Amino acid sequence: MGTIDNINDLNKSDFLSIFGNVFEKTESVAIEVFESKPFKNFEDIMFKMLNIYEGYKKDKILEILNAHPELAVAKRMTSESISEQASAKLNECSSEEYEEFKRLNSEYKKKFNFPFIIAVKGKNKNEILNNFRQRIQSDVESEFLEAKKQVKKIATFRLNEINKK
């Protein structure tokens, strides 16, 4: 990614092209962070992004949750989601697994009003399916909090990826 000075020198458009999808299809976090330049270091950017997200009201969090694709069946995904899901082999489901993901996605969305969200990095499709089967049993409030936590994990993974570049 270069030095913190390089990041501080970025214009808004370039900053958003790098950080705009840390929170799935939600540039508002990156826009707010951009306004708080200069940054002391990369950890400062991470802290500010996660803090802004944590400070959002429930309706804004729901908006972010609903920006996430369904697992294993989504047609239009960001490049980040495509590579994250492929790393968990969700693009290699058997027809039975695919059908189960499809059914769970549908039931979950109906019950909770947002898609099932899990930070898939480091997990395989069996772990994800087992998680899915368990979490669909949750009550709405607990699951909202779990989904919010998973989004934060995904954002942290994405920020760490950016920092490695």
Kindly compute the dihedral angle of the four CA atoms of residues 48, 50, 52, 55, in this order, to the nearest 10 degrees: -140
pLDDT at residue 90 in the model: 83
Predicted model pTM: 0.92
Catalytically active residues are 68
- Torsions phi, psi for 124 (to 5 deg): -105, 170
Rounded Cα distance between 34 and 27, Å, is 10
pLDDT at 23: 96
All residue ranges of the chain with pLDDT < 50 are none
The predicted pLDDT at position 72 comes to 84
Q: Which one-letter amino acid corresponds to residue 163? A: N
pLDDT of amino acid 1: 57
**Domains defined along the chain, listed by start:** 4-164 (1.10.3330.10)
